[in-house]
Copies of this chain bind each other. A is one copy, B any other.
Amino acid sequence: MDSVSQELSERKKQILKAIIDAHIAGGEPVGSKYLVESKQIACSSATIRNEMAELEAMGYLEQPHASAGRVPSERGYRFYVDSLIEHYAMTAREISQINELLQQKMAELDQILLTASKVASNLTNYTGFAVRPKAQKVSVRRFDAVYLDERTLILVLVLSNDQVKTKTLRADGEAPLTQTVTDQLAAALNEHLHDLCANEITLPIMIALEESMGSRHDVVSPVIKAIYEVLNELEDSSLKVSGVDRLLQYPEFSSPDKMKQLLGAIEKPDDLLSIVSAPDEITEHRPNVIIGSESTVQVMDHSALVYIPIIKDGKNLGTIGVLGPSRMDYAKVLATLEEISGNISSILEDNDHRPGEKRLTDGSNNGG
């Protein structure tokens, strides 16, 4: 019927957009009268009513009850996000705010993600979250062992994703540790386990490692165990949430039941993680929007999730996003997330290829 879409006439689109905009802003069902008064649509309320009835029949609108205005359905929001949304022009102030907030604490990945989610939450006034994805392929790029005393050594692991982890290991008997043994251990680890990830450490390799430690092969096994632990810990993806209290301001979540659901989802975040982490390989640098029951997880009733991956050198370093009611201000949220994500990426690149600085600079602290 129309040039662009087979489904909706231009006027229907206008009406749908006006309804969704109004509902996003006010949170209440919007009626035909309001639309004519707001001057957005140039025809009478009766005409609008007819169009609205059709839009409802097509599934884009819903009516809470017979004499209420219309409310967008999930399908309506989806269409809005996909086709109707206008690009939100961030103010210079907002952009500079992002810059300012982000550039302070860019020390370490977890820090970055957490800060970014807080910024997102602040600017959009929804709840922000950050996810560090499980890194299945992480390996140890470099080992070091610090001799502390006869009974203690510290294992330092520099991982392939630039994180540094340490483990304190204690020897509780028999032969004391020495500086020599410690050095020998580090060298052996570097030789045998270099760039291997957890499931590539096989028995033959472990045996070779023990042999190269000669008489002190006794230290190998607990060290291997510690390394395993570190690598496995990284496979747990972690979720940080900020600004939960912001959700309370939306009447959608003011009922104790809804709130309890949501808090539960945040506390036991398996579901949330599975949604957000799913497109593991997809490194497309665009935000993703999930509205209500579009996820397989039914907890997200009446709410929506917008998230964007943080990508560096084609690797997905994590995901940040916001969680809010399905009537969230998608235009603003999308723009904000894109801006933040782009900002982080450029800072990360910067950090790596910065050319002529004068001295040692603080690159990243460990995950403390």
Which residues from chain A sit less than 8 Å from chain B, CB to CB? 142, 144, 146, 148, 152-154, 156, 158, 162-174, 218-219, 221-223, 225-226, 229-230, 233, 242-245, 248-249, 254, 256, 259-260, 263-264, 267, 354-368
Within the assembled complex, what's the spacing in Å between the Cα atoms of A221 and B172?
Answer: 38
Within the assembled complex, what's the spacing in Å between the Cα atoms of A154 and B358?
Answer: 18
A148: contacting residue among B158, B225, B249, CB under 8 A: B158
- Interface pair A359/B221, CB less than 8 Å apart: yes
A366: contacting residue among B153, B359, B368, CB under 8 A: B368
- Interface pair B366/A169, CB less than 8 Å apart: no
Within the assembled complex, what's the spacing in Å between the Cα atoms of A281 and B79?
Answer: 61
Residues of B within 8 A of A254 (CB): 256
Q: List 17 A-B contacts (CB under 8 A).
A: A142-B146, A146-B146, A154-B156, A162-B168, A166-B368, A167-B362, A170-B362, A172-B358, A173-B356, A174-B359, A218-B360, A221-B360, A222-B359, A243-B267, A244-B263, A366-B367, A367-B367
- Interface pair A354/B267, CB less than 8 Å apart: no
Residues of B within 8 A of A221 (CB): 359-360
A361: contacting residue among B174, B222, B244, B366, CB under 8 A: B222
**A241 and chain B: residue at smallest CB distance:** B267
Residues of B within 8 A of A366 (CB): 165-168, 366-368
Residues of B within 8 A of A148 (CB): 142, 158
Residues of B within 8 A of A245 (CB): 260, 263-264, 267
**A218 and chain B: residue at smallest CB distance:** B359
A174: contacting residue among B167, B219, B358, CB under 8 A: B358
Within the assembled complex, what's the spacing in Å between the Cα atoms of A218 and B173?
Answer: 42
Residues of B within 8 A of A244 (CB): 244, 263, 267
Residues of B within 8 A of A152 (CB): 363
Within the assembled complex, what's the spacing in Å between the Cα atoms of A222 and B174?
Answer: 41
Within the assembled complex, what's the spacing in Å between the Cα atoms of A170 and B363?
Answer: 6
Residues of B within 8 A of A356 (CB): 172-173
